[in-house]
Amino acid sequence: NEKILQVNKLRKHFHMGKEQILQAVNDVTFHINKGETFGLVGESGCGKTTVGRTIMGLYDKTAGDVLYDGQNVHELNDKETFQFYRNMQMIFQDPYASLNPRSTVKEVIAEPMEVHSLYPNKQAQLDRVIQLLEEVGLNRDHANRYPHEFSGGQRQRIGIARALALDPDFIIADEPISALDVSVQAQVVNLLKRLQKEKGLTFLFIAHDLSMVKQISDRIGVMYLGHMVELTSSDSLYDNPLHPYTQALLSAIPIPDPDIEDTRERIILEGELPSPINPPSGCVFRTRCPFAMDVCASKKPEWQEVEKKHYVACHLYDETLNQTNEPDIHIR
Ligand code: SF4
C-alpha cells in the first residue's frame, strides 16, 4: 500500500487569551493509503475538523508533521501551495453555507477552474462544468440555477462537483452527510464511493457518529477530546471494538433491520464532554468511562498495537500494569 498522507504526532493548540489554551488536537498519528477512505470519527469538539483543516494547511500546526506525497504541507512555498490545492480539495458539512448564493451553479463549479486557468476558453470550461454535473447525478439544466433552488442533497452534489473541478487526488469530506436526511445520506455516500472507484480518489471522511462510516471507510480512527483513542480496519472496529468510547459509540447505533431483536447492552455515557481548555489528567476519557481505574487518573495510556494493525490507547490493554480488569461489554 502506498501512503499518500502521513500525519505524525500532530498537535494543534489555540491560544484563547488570558493564558488559556484550547488543546484541540494532541499528538495524533495516522496515515492514509492511496485510493482508500479513512474515516475520522468523534463527537463535536473532539478535534476531527481541526485535524482536517490542519492537514489542508488552513491552520498552522503547533507541533508534529503532515506529509502529503512526501512533502511537508506546512513548509510549502506559494507555488507549491497552489499546486497542493489542485491535488487536495474539501467538501463541507453545510453545502449551502459553502456555496455563494449569488452565483449560479455553473459559476460555483467554474470558479476554481478559473483561478487555476485550466481551460483555454469559456466553452471548454462550460463543457467540463456540465460533464461534472452529470458525473454527480445532475444535468445541464441545473447549470444556470442558484444554490437556494436545490434540496440539501442536491446542494451537496454541487459541492462535490466543485471539489472535483480541479481533478484532485485527495478529498477531505468534513461531515458531508450530517446535515442531510437519512434517506439522502446513503445516496451521497454511494455517489462518493462511485466517484472514488472511477477516479481513484483518496478520502478523509470525517463524521460525528459511526452509523454511515462503515459503508465507506476502509479504516477508521476514533477521536475523543483531541486524542486518537482507537484505529483499525472498518471490519475490526465494528466486530471487535476495544476502546470503551468506541464501544459506547457503536452501542448507540440502532440495528437497521426492524425484524432483528436488539439485545445489545446500551452503554450510556455519563456526564458532559469535558472542556479541551481544561482536559482531565491521565486518560481524557476517564470522567465518562464505565471502566475507569485509579491508574487512569494518574497515567496517560500509551498508544499501542494491541492486535495486528489494531491500535488503542487504554490501560485495560496495558499488560505492564498487570491488572485483571477486562472489558466485559460485547456489542454483538
Ligand atoms: Fe477507561 Fe481507563 Fe481505558 Fe481511559 S484508560 S478508556 S479511563 S479504562
pLDDT digits (tens, 9 = 90+) for 231-243: 999 999 999 999 9
Higher-confidence position of 245 and 180: 245
Question: What H or E segment, with its residue span, contains residue 223?
Answer: strand 219-224
Q: Are 230 and 221 in contact (CB under 8 A)?
A: yes
For residue 267, what pLDDT band results from cuts at 50, 70 and 90? Answer: confident
Residues with Cβ within 8 Å of residue 253, at least 6 apart in sequence = 209, 210, 211
Cβ-based burial of 123 (10 A; exposed 0-12, middle 13-18, buried ≥19): exposed
Q: Specify the pLDDT at position 252.
A: 79
CA 87 / ligand 1 centre spacing (Å):
39
For residue 330, what pLDDT band results from cuts at 50, 70 and 90? Answer: very low
Q: Specify the pLDDT at position 329.
A: 46
- Say whether pLDDT at 157 is over 60: yes
Handedness of CA 196, 199, 203, 205 (dihedral sign): negative
For residue 332, what pLDDT band results from cuts at 50, 70 and 90? Answer: very low
CA 287 / ligand 1 centre spacing (Å):
9
First to last CA, the chain: 31
Amino acid identity, position 251: S
What's the longest Cα–Cα distance across the chain?
70
Q: Specify the pLDDT at position 328.
A: 45
- CA–CA gap between residue 121 and residue 113 (Å, rounded): 11
Cα 256 off chain centre by: 23
Amino acid identity, position 184: V
Question: What H or E segment, with its residue span, contains residue 31?
Answer: strand 21-33
Q: Specify the pLDDT at position 222.
A: 97
Q: Specify the pLDDT at position 322.
A: 60
Q: List phi, psi (to 5°) of 117.
A: 45, 55
- CA–CA gap between residue 282 and residue 297 (Å, rounded): 5
CA 8 / ligand 1 centre spacing (Å):
23
- pLDDT digits 0-9 by tens, 162-208: 999 999 999 999 999 888 888 899 999 999 999 999 999 999 999 98
- Protein residue whose Cα sits closest to atom 3 of ligand 1: 314
- pLDDT digits 0-9 by tens, 47-79: 999 999 999 999 999 999 999 999 999 999 999
Residues with Cβ within 8 Å of residue 325, at least 6 apart in sequence = 291, 293, 316
Q: Specify the pLDDT at position 283.
A: 97
Q: Specify the pLDDT at position 261.
A: 67
For residue 276, what pLDDT band results from cuts at 50, 70 and 90? Answer: very high
For residue 258, what pLDDT band results from cuts at 50, 70 and 90? Answer: low
**Nearest atom of ligand 1 to the alpha carbon of 293:** 2
**What is the ipTM score, two decimals?**
0.99
66 forms bridges with which residues in the sheet?
7
37 forms bridges with which residues in the sheet?
203
The fold of 3-217 is Rossmann fold (3.40.50)
Residues with Cβ within 8 Å of residue 92, at least 6 apart in sequence = 98, 159, 174, 175, 176
Residues of the chain with CATH 3.40.50.300: 3-217
CB of residue 286 inside a 6 A radius of ligand 1: yes
Three cell numbers at 300?
Answer: 496517560
- pLDDT digits 0-9 by tens, 283-317: 999 999 999 999 999 999 999 999 999 999 999 99
Average pLDDT, the chain: 91
- CA–CA gap between residue 181 and residue 184 (Å, rounded): 5
